[in-house]
Amino acid sequence: MSETTTAAVPPPAPRKAPLLDRLPVTSHIRQSVGLQRTMLLIGITLTGLFLLAAMFAPLLAPYGYAQISDAAGTFPAQAAPGGKHPWGTTVGGYDVLSRVLWGSQTAATVIVVSVAMSIFVGVALGLLSGYFGGWLDRVLVVIADAIYAFPSLLLAIVMSIVISQGQSSFWGGILACSISITVVFVPQYFRVIRAETIRLKAEPFVESAMVVGASSWRIMGRHIFKNATRTLPLIFTLNSSEAILTLAGLGFLGFGIEPTSAAEWGFDLNKALADASSGIWWTGVFPGVAIVLTVLGLTLVGESMNDLNDPRLRGRRAAGNKRSGKAKTKAGRP
């Protein structure tokens, strides 16, 4: 009688989720439920409209940001909404709709430049401080704590004067605001990356790399960097809204960008102050609503991602779903 032996079949490897489901925003949508998902979807919608307006401003805007005339002649000043100017015109004869659309492009540029600089500097310093420790860590932590004492708007005004020498050109205003925002935001990225680096440094895979003789730069760049930067999308969304408010405040106080260099919502609000007392509402309402909706969208996305990343809130949500499922099962029994 022959005996047959069967080879042990290894269990199938767990299926990896598609790349789209692993992206920061889409993965949070899948995790969210109820009111949390509603808030996240509203934030994504508002943020998406802002990005579309910034990308396609040259196609959507009926006129240029500094255009005050066309083939028919000079635009009327403070014209009411309607006709060739759906959102009216300003005291300088600029089309309000065009200024709002072009202003979204300016705001998006400030977000990209300032947050990109903040991430680059903050991540680099956080990796060095958390990995090497010692006197370098102590010095950087003290500097990061001291920077929190600087008001961001006051720093933006000083940097605007220093960088642009009072000349509010496009890139001068962008760099002045971006550098001031960078200085304020760097400590946030620094502290997050430093804490993650200290935690990851004690993990077995990092210790194994040290044992086999991997250099410190290779360990930081290949093993720690990828794992320590997973929370950056969350901080990015929260800081983006603050960057827009800082840019608007700078323009409102007269240290922003001149209307002949670029469209900027804060500057338009400043010029609309005198119109409000005369019943001319459209020059201030539309730029103000653009600021509110953009900041609201970015804040909703950031706060929703923050809640979904909190393990305590995830545990409560999972427990609530489990109780809800048990209640439905009991209700379905005869």
Which candidate, 163, 194, 191, places its Cα nearest to that of 176? 163
Over range 71-90, report the average pLDDT.
87
Q: Which two tokens stand for residue 246?
A: 């800082």
146 conformational bin, left if phi > 0, alpha if psi -120 to 50, beta if neither: alpha
In the structure, what pLDDT confidence band is assigned to residue 262 with cuts at 50, 70 and 90? confident
Domains annotated on the chain, with CATH: 55-64+86-310 (1.10.3720.10)
In the structure, what pLDDT confidence band is assigned to residue 313 with cuts at 50, 70 and 90? low
More confident residue, 8 or 44: 44
Residues 203-217 pLDDT 10s: 787 778 777 777 778
Which residue in this structure is represented by tokens 């860590």?
137
More confident residue, 33 or 48: 48
User: Contact 291/103 with Cβ under 8 angstroms?
Assistant: no
Element (H, E) at 124: helix 96-132
Q: Which two tokens stand for residue 184?
A: 């304020």
Which amino acid is present at 110? V
Name the phi and psi angles at 70, rounded to 5: -140, -160
Distance CA 127, CA 95 (A): 48
User: Contact 181/154 with Cβ under 8 angstroms?
Assistant: no
pTM: predicted TM-score of the whole model, two decimal places? 0.78
Centroid of chain to Cα 46: 13
In the structure, what pLDDT confidence band is assigned to residue 227 with cuts at 50, 70 and 90? confident
